Amino acid sequence: MYIRSLCLMVAVALIPAMDALAQDAKAATANGTQIVVVPDDQVLPVKMSTTLNKVIAKPLSEKATVVDFKSYRKTAKKMGIKARKWGTRDSVQKVGGAIGATHALVIAVGKHKKGGYAVKVSLVSVTDGQAVFSENLLQPNKAITSSTADKMITKTLAAIAELAEAKAKQEAADKKAEEQVMAEAAAAAAPAEAPKAEEKPAASEK
């Protein structure tokens, strides 16, 4: 009974944090962040994409803008990119850019050297191919667990919230700098005031 009450208290305590992340993620969406969830698998990438759509893409789409992976798959096929190459940096940039995504959440699952499996998740920028974050999550089995999925979603929401905040700060700084330049240009273009004529002293009365 005590454990159940404790778990309930923890869950209730986490609600505000998750709500805040959701609000920040919505702000990121307003700033144009669009994510496509991409499998990086050398054996059964198509099967993995179906799993990721169910456990990652759909839950994530409730809090952020997610691009349907079907668009990614079709575009990759047209470009001649094989399924086992879906998750490479080059593919993410080419295909992601073509379908309007700003970031790709690339996920790979492999055996861990100490036993069990490691789920590698990376949020990659479509613009430059650089990882916003990359992390390995350990679990006992190959199938992605709900716990691992929740961690990936939470990490992704936090990351895009930070991206939105950084973008807002940069836009504010750019706007301030632009206003400063305009003010200086206006001051330089303003006509200079003519010098005042010196007043001659009044003649003294005789």
Half-sphere exposure of 37 (CA within 13 A, CB side): 27
How many Å apart are CA 67 and CA 61, to the nearest integer? Answer: 9
Across residues 145-172, what is the average pLDDT? 89
Predicted confidence band of residue 122 (pLDDT cuts 50, 70, 90): very high
Res 171: pLDDT: 79
User: Is residue 44 scored above 50 in pLDDT?
Assistant: yes
* Rounded distance between C-alpha atoms, residue 127 and residue 4, angstroms: 46
**Is pLDDT above 80 for 119?**
yes
Residue 91: per-residue pLDDT: 97
Of 83-87, 107-111, 169-173, the range with the lowest mean pLDDT is: 169-173
- Residue 140 Cα distances to 106, 119, 122, 155, 169, angstroms: 20, 10, 20, 20, 41
Tokens of 109: 């699952």
Name which of 25-39, 78-92, 104-118, 188-202 the model is least confident about. Answer: 188-202
Residue given tokens 């850019």 in the structure block: 97
- The model's pLDDT over 88-114, given as tens digits with 9 standing for 90+, comes to 999 999 999 999 999 999 999 999 888
Torsion angle of the four alpha carbons 80, 143, 106, 95, in this order, in degrees rounded to the nearest 10:
20
Q: How far apart are CA 148 and CA 152, in angstroms?
A: 6
How far does Cα 120 stand from its chain's mean position? 17
Nearest one of 68, 70, 95 to 81, comparing CA atoms: 95
Residue 122: how many CA atoms within 13 Å on its side-chain side?
17
Q: Specify the higher pLDDT residue, 5 or 81.
A: 81
